[in-house]
A and B are shown apart, each in its own frame.
Chain A
C-alpha cells in the first residue's frame, strides 16, 4: 500500500483480556518495527522483523507480549492478559531494509486503553 496501515486505530479493552494489534507495512519493505509510546514519553522499542524473522525479542516488556510476521508482510502484536500499564499508543514502522540509514515510515498507531 501507499503507507503503513495499523488497525484498529483505537481499542478499549478490559483488564485481563487479550488484544491483537495489526500492522500492514509498505509493500516491499523488508524491515518492520514495533514501538510503544506512553503518554508524555518517548518511543520505547519493542521488536523488529527482518522478513519474517525477529532476531531480538529482548525489547518486549514481558512474556505477555508476542509478535509475529507472516509472508514478509503483515505483522500482529499480541498482548495477553492486558494490564492498565499496557495502555499506550502502539506504533508500527517499516523500512526498505535493515541498515544504511534507511528512514522509517510510521503508521498512525493504535491507541490502546485498558480499563
Chain B
C-alpha cells in the first residue's frame, strides 16, 4: 500500500521568492510519484510526474521536483513564485497499478505581492 504526507497545509511566499512544497511518501514497491495543482472551482491538473529514469523532473509553469529514494521524498520547487501560482497542490503516489493512487491532504500556496 502507498501513502503520502504533505508537510504544511498552508505555505505563503512573496512574489519572486522560492516555492518549496514538501512531500514524503511510503510505498512497498517502486513508486510512481505525481504533483497535481487545483485552482479554485476546478479539477486537478497534472503538473509533473516521476516514473523511471531521471530523478529530477520538470513540469509545467516552471515547477520541478526531485525524487530522492533515500529520503522517500518528492518535494516540489519553483525558483520564483508568481501570483498565478496561488492554488492547492497535491502530491500523489501509486505503485505498479494505477488503481491504488493515493493523494496527500494538499498544500494551499498563497503568493503575496
Contact = CB atoms under 8 A, between A and B. Distances in A.
Partners in one complex: yes
Interface stretch (B11-19, B68-76, B77-85, B101-109): B101-109
A77 interface: no
A100 interface: yes
Interface of A: 4, 6, 31, 33, 35, 41-43, 45, 48, 50, 55-56, 91, 93, 95, 97-109
A106 B44 contact: yes
A110 to B, nearest CB: 10
Given A107-B43, A109-B43, A42 B106 contact: yes
Contacts of B102: 45
Contacts of B103: 35, 42-43, 45
27 contacts: A4-B43, A6-B43, A31-B98, A31-B99, A35-B103, A41-B105, A42-B90, A42-B104, A42-B106, A43-B44, A43-B90, A45-B102, A48-B98, A99-B97, A99-B98, A100-B51, A100-B96, A100-B98, A101-B51, A101-B52, A101-B94, A104-B36, A104-B46, A106-B45, A107-B43, A108-B41, A108-B43
Main secondary structure of the interface of A (DSSP, over half): loop
Interface of B: 32, 34, 36, 41-46, 49-52, 90, 94, 96-99, 101-106
Given A91-B44, A108-B43, A103 B99 contact: no
Given A31-B99, A43-B44, 17 more contacts: A6-B43, A42-B90, A43-B90, A45-B101, A45-B102, A45-B103, A55-B99, A56-B99, A93-B43, A93-B44, A101-B32, A101-B94, A102-B98, A104-B98, A105-B46, A107-B43, A108-B43
